[in-house]
Amino acid sequence: MRARETRIAAVSPETMKDAVGLLSGGDVVAIPTETVYGLAANALDEVAVGKIYDAKGRPGNNPLIVHVSCVDEARELVADWPREAEALAEAFWPGPLTLVLSKRAGMVPDITTAGGNTVAVRCPDHPVALELIRQCGFPLAAPSANRSNHISPTTAEHVLESLGGRIPLILDGGPCRAGIESTVVMLSKDEAPVILRPGSILAEEISEVLGREVRERAAGAERSVVGATPMDGGAVLNEEVFLSPGLQQTHYSPTTPLVLVKPDDLDSFLGQMGMEGKRVGVLLFSGMENRGEYIYNIMMPRDAENYAFELYSALYRLDGMGLDVLVCEMPPEGTEWVAVRDRLVRAGCWYSP
């Protein structure tokens, strides 16, 4: 695509007006939400939505979330607004919950929903996003404002790094509060609700509101491609496998290979990397002594909410350092860690000693 000049502008009445002007004219604008920055366009304008796919390099078979400012707007986009949608919206909107429902005919164009017969709707809990939707008078399609398969942005600078030269305007509303993307739940007439993507709103919170079990879609097979073959006699990075992007379906990835390591295996893995002269960046969880000059480490928070808030920033920071390998000392299992672990597992590969 042709290069464009990207302006990054603090939110003000003037820059809001600029954003509304661009969006109303069928262009894209990166905007803050409470989860991550989104790349917004008029969800009802197929040419405008096409520009989102182009700027991100996103495959056309991956549908977008349509952002609304209230329940009434969501209802206009769907074929049916079931009681369960009402209950969840009542409990969690505005907020980081996306509802996938059957799509009303003739409203949202196919390109926005990737040709499917469902539409994902969400009412974001961010004054800038809400005000933009209201001023525009149309819903905003907005995926995370990063190049396809890269780390989601939680600051305006992250957006610039990922999409600079491809979009006209980034509205800078400061760092995003939640730090990881919304929980996506699909409601259908015939089946139990399913969580398609975990997020800060937990499965049990949704169950509690609905008074019935929600299913969590089984995580894709976790990749475990780093490690020793029996002949290796120890831990060896199998770079051929984990450096070949075509071999795995990855999401949310840094450019530098990311290896997920259980706390008990951290020492042996770092020892191995040291011997190989690798320059390593580590997301630490349990704390650690200084393990040598080849290590750049970031101490991550011990609670899931703050960990989520800092995760993408930490990955951006380490990814920008030109290191050989990033290592994440994995946080524990347990319901509050489901979303964080989901993002990590998709971004990296397990180390199996």
Binding site for ligand TXA (CB under 6 A): 33, 35-36, 38, 62-65, 96, 98, 100, 113, 116, 118-120, 122, 124, 142-144, 181-182, 184, 196-197
* Pick 131 or 324: Cβ nearer ligand TXA: 131
Q: Does residue 35 interact with Mg ion by CB under 5 A?
A: no
Measured between its terminal Cα atoms, the distance across the chain in Å is 44
Kind plus residue range of the DSSP H or E element containing 88? helix 83-92
* Pick 144 or 313: Cβ nearer ligand TXA: 144
Binding string to Mg ion for residues 141 to 180, with x set by CB under 5 A, is what?
Answer: ---x------------------------------------
**Residue 226 interface partner, choices Mg ion, ligand TXA, none, CB cut-off 5-8 Å depending on type:** none
Cβ contact 98:184 at 8 Å: yes
- The nearest distance, CB 275 to Mg ion, in angstroms, is 37
- The nearest distance, CB 144 to Mg ion, in angstroms, is 3
Rounded to whole angstroms, what are the CA distances from 318 to 26, 183, 325?
A: 36, 26, 9
**Residue 120 interface partner, choices ligand TXA, Mg ion, none, CB cut-off 5-8 Å depending on type:** ligand TXA
**Residue 189 token pair:** 């007439």
* Pick 56 or 285: Cβ nearer Mg ion: 56
Rounded to whole angstroms, what are the CA distances from 229 to 49, 217, 232, 353?
A: 46, 31, 5, 9
The Cα 203–Cα 160 span in angstroms is 33
- The nearest distance, CB 126 to ligand TXA, in angstroms, is 9
* Pick 220 or 292: Cβ nearer ligand TXA: 220
Q: Which residues pair with 8 in a beta bridge?
A: 170
Binding string to Mg ion for residues 125 to 144, with x set by CB under 5 A, is what?
Answer: -------------------x
Closest CA to 30 of 231, 228, 168, 207: 168
- The nearest distance, CB 184 to ligand TXA, in angstroms, is 5
**Residue 138 token pair:** 């149309």
**Residue 183 interface partner, choices Mg ion, ligand TXA, none, CB cut-off 5-8 Å depending on type:** none
Rounded to whole angstroms, what are the CA distances from 337 to 177, 236, 297?
A: 17, 28, 21
**Contact residues for Mg ion, defined by CB under 5 A:** 144
